[in-house]
Amino acid sequence: MTLLLLGLAIACEVTATVSLKISDGFSKLVPSIIVVIGYGAAFYFLSQALERGMAIGVAYGIWSAVGVVAVSVIGALFLDEKLTLVQVGGIALVIAGVLALELGGAH
């Protein structure tokens, strides 16, 4: 259940972040509303995952890694943003860091 809640939090955060770009500095109403609702829902679902026992370091690490990858890929595929090899390397390092958190916490 905690992973489902974290997944919902990540989906809401990614949606809100992409909408932030599309909102054009909050000059477009619908994307601006999605930003506010999306971030609110993201923090709600994250709080529920934490309340049910997920470790905050692991939750935030997974949130960060998946969010960075998702937003970067969406930006490259749909928002005409470039993704360089250095950026891909940085994304790989973020993922490696999350794996280290996960493996370091295993008993």
Residue 97, pLDDT score: 85
Residue 26 confidence (pLDDT) above 60: yes
Return mean pLDDT, the chain.
Answer: 93
For 48-92, the pLDDT digits (tens) are 999 999 999 889 889 988 999 999 999 999 999 999 999 999 989
Which conformational region is residue 106 in: left (phi greater than 0), alpha (psi within -120 to 50 degrees), or beta? beta
pLDDT tops 60 at residue 107: no
What secondary structure does DSSP assign to 42-99, as a single string? HHHHHHHHHHTT--HHHHHHHHHHHHHHHHHHHHHHHS-----HHHHHHHHHHHHHHH
pTM for this predicted structure: 0.87
